[in-house]
Structures are given as C-alpha cells and as structure tokens.
Structure 1
Amino acid sequence: MSSRRGGSNVVAYVVLGVGGLLMVSPFLYQISASLMTNAEVTAIPKRLLPETIQWGNYPAALAAFPFWDQLRNTVLFTVIQTVCQVLFASMAGYAFARLKFAGARPIFAILLSILMIPAELLLISQYQIVQNLGLLNTIAGLVAPGIVTVFGTFMMRQFFLGLPRELSDAAKIDGAGPVTTFVRIMLPLAMPGVSALAIIVAISSWGAFLWPLIVATYSENMPLAVGIASFAGEHETDYPQMMAASLVVMLPVMIFFVALQRRVIAGLAFSGIRG
C-alpha cells in the first residue's frame, strides 16, 4: 500500500510540475524577450535566450510613453473601483442574505441572470451613457460601469449566509437595528470575504483593457494596460520594449497577489460553503 501511494504521489508531482512549467513558460519567455533586440525576437527559428542582455530596454520602454501619467490613472482607477465595489457589494450581499423584503428572491434571480450576458454586449449602451454624461477621457468615466458588480454581490451574499444567524438575532434582541448589526457585528466577521473580493477586484482593475481602451482616447488619460498597446506600430512593433513595459506593469500586482493569496483562497473557500 505504501509503495503504491508513493508511486501515485510521484506521478501527481510529475503531472503538476509539467503543468506548472507549461503555464509559466510564456512568462519566462516574456522575461527573456524583454532583454533581446527586436531582431532576435522576430528571428526565425525562434530564439529563447538573448545573445547579449539588453538592460536598456527597460528605461527606453518607460520613456517611450507617458508612464507616470498612466500609472497615476491606473492607481486611481484601481483604488476607486475597488473601494466602491467592496462597499456596495457588502451592503447588497448583506441585504440579500439577512434582510427580508418584498421581491428579494426575484430581484436576486434577475441579478444572477445578468452574469450570463457577455460584458461585450453592454459596451455600446455603456459608452453612450458615459458619452452623454460628458465623462469620456475622465477617471469617472473609467470607473462608472464597474462600481457595482453582480459577482461581488453574489460572493458577499454567500459569505454572509455562512455566518451564524444567532449573531444577528442576538444583536436584534439587544436593540440593534439593521445598520448597526451590519456595521458593528456582521461586517467585521466578513473581513476574509471582503479582503478576497478587494484583492480580486484590484487585480482585475489593474489589468483592465477593453473598457479603458474605448473610453480613454488620449494617451495621458489611459491606464497602463492600454498604454502598452501604443508600442504596436503600424509598420513595426518594438517587441522587447513592449515586453519590458508589460513586466513593469505586472510586477506590482504579482507582488500584491503573492503576498495576499492566502486571503483570496480562504475567502473564496468560505463563501462557497452555503448556498
């Protein structure tokens, strides 16, 4: 039995190792390509390592587009969208999980049905609304469609359902209203779910591309993910600088996720305990 178990563990480790290597290989090539010349990147057959390391690609990439303006836009966009989504999703999730009001189930079912609609189908109507409000090329226009999401509401509802109902009942007996119960008792207990949602939204917002590409038409108003697309020229693309800029943009969010991945996993696991 022990030998069979040891053999199965070896097979599992080999499969997981190969799978992990396949998943990380594009990232490893991106690092290598960022240190090549453009001729080496476009050479056929494909080169995997640079002949001479080109460290100058990184400062050249940052100087090729308004990096600091776009970094400011990205930080503002990420912070505002994360705070708004966490705030509204927490309140809506608690309402659907704990409060009794007319039409709660039908309204929640309608909200869940929105998850089945591809986001791309809503782009035209969202763009027209933002345009009519005069919010094109503004931070408000960037964050407007994402300040409330059905996914965040559903996730926080599941998390609040997993908390003991006796806590809210005890608070009600002590005379606490719904707002007091939510703010002082339930929300602090839901911090693992809040943290997980905040991390997920922050990572998604940092790398958002399609909506900012449509709304921000001037380079100084774009976030970094869209600004990197400016490296793709009409006749020639500087791939090493594009790879270097992409790595610089990815670095903060990678560090952020690696440092807080336990909170994400714990929050997602707990939110799925009850339906």
Structure 2
Amino acid sequence: MKDFIDLKDKRVLVTAGTKGTGAATVDLFRQLGAAVITTARSQPADMPASQFIAADLTSEEGCKTVADTVRERLGGLDIIVHMLGGSSAPGGGFQSLTEDHWRKELDLNLFPAVRLDRLLLPDMIAQCQGVVIHVSSIQRLMPLPEATTAYAAAKAALSTYSKSLSKEVSPKGVRVLRVSPGWIMTDASVHLAERLAKEAGTDVEGGKRLIMDSLGGIPIGRPSSPEDVASLIAFLASDRAATITGVEYVIDGGTVPTV
C-alpha cells in the first residue's frame, strides 16, 4: 500500500539530524508528512532556520534551549528520536580511559536523552500520546575492549534507562522503544575504512573488510545504510506500530551472534 506509513502532521524532534543516519531519518519523516525540527551544534547551509535549533546537547543549557524552542515552534511533540551519539575515546583498553573520557561518553550518549525526556515527556503524558525512540548500538551487547568500552557502557545505560522509562510511561499513552544499529555506512565510517586501509596497506574495500572482521563478520555481507535504519525508525514511530513499546530492535545485518 502506498500510504502504509503515514506521519502526516506529526510533530517530531530528531537530535543530530544533519548528517548520516540522523539526516536520512529527518528526510524520510518529512517525505511522510511530518513537521520535523532537528538540532546540532552547527546549522547546515541548506537547512532553513525554522527547521533547526543550534544547541550543544551535552549541556543542560543546550537541552533546555531545544525543549523551549520546540514548544514555541510546534506547540509540543508527538515523536522524539534520540539519534545523538558517538565516541571520541581513544583505543588502548580500559587503562587508556581517563575520568574525562568517561564523562564525555556519558555526556554524549546518555544524558542528552535523559534531559530532553525529562523536559518534554510531561507534555506527551498530558496529551496521552507520544513516541520516544532511543537509538542505542549493538556495542552494548558486544563491546570491543580495545576501543569501545566507555561508549558501549554508555549505550548500555541508555538501553536500561529506556526500558525503565517505557514501563513508567506506556500506561500513560507514551510508547518508548530502542533501535540498536550495527555498522552503518556513513561518511564517517567510510573515512574510518580509508584510514584503516592506509594503515594496513590495502584499499578501501579492504578497510571495510577489516571493520566487518572486527565485529565478527556481517552475515549479509554489507553494513546497513542510513536509509535502512531510518525506515525502521519511521515504522516504529508510526501508528502501524501502535502496540509496540518497551522493546529493542537490532538492525545489524546479523552481526550479533546470539539469540
């Protein structure tokens, strides 16, 4: 059916929606009829000011700015997609991680969702409907000790928080879900593949293979595209998923080897 998913007139906030999977999600939601505002530290030249909020979501002040501006422009929200995440921690195992590294991973991957939910969910509860989607990572299930310990721990905390939140607010009309991607083929991952290829004396395809091997392989033979992940998020945010809450959807090409 042509209109299997319809987000017409839904009011949506997508964090970190200017690049990669965030941008793909923003684009798809708008194609499906939603009014979408996104946020990042810097505004892209091609994005209208009315659709963007410049803010640093690793701070309490930045989260408050976003919440206040969303209410002013949209009058409230129907859907929140917490896309913001990433890692700047160095490799080298647990001993290479300082207090500052740990704090930055939590400030980027956990606290923005906690703060924005605290500010925005009361309005959803008051209107007796809403959807909150926390984008986690399969790293919470299979961390790489050399490089992703702090990131994986932060995403695990996000997942546990999300589950608890769902149990509290689902009876009040607000669905809360998690989407956990594996490796996604974004510009950033291409740059990583190029760097690894250079270090290993191979080509970019060889660099991609190194990444897949580090994950234990991807059974379908390729990473997900940003559009793949955006499509899953759009379905879960739609009324087609009206009875789905409190669960996690892994989209990783079969990377996670366990049930």
Structure 1 and Structure 2 fold alike (TM over 0.5) = no
Normalising by structure 1, what TM-score?
A: 0.25
- Counting strand residues as a fraction of each chain, which structure ranks higher? 2
- Counting helix residues as a fraction of each chain, which structure ranks higher? 1
Normalising by structure 2, what TM-score?
A: 0.26
Indicate the structure (1 or 2) with the bigger Cα radius of gyration: 1
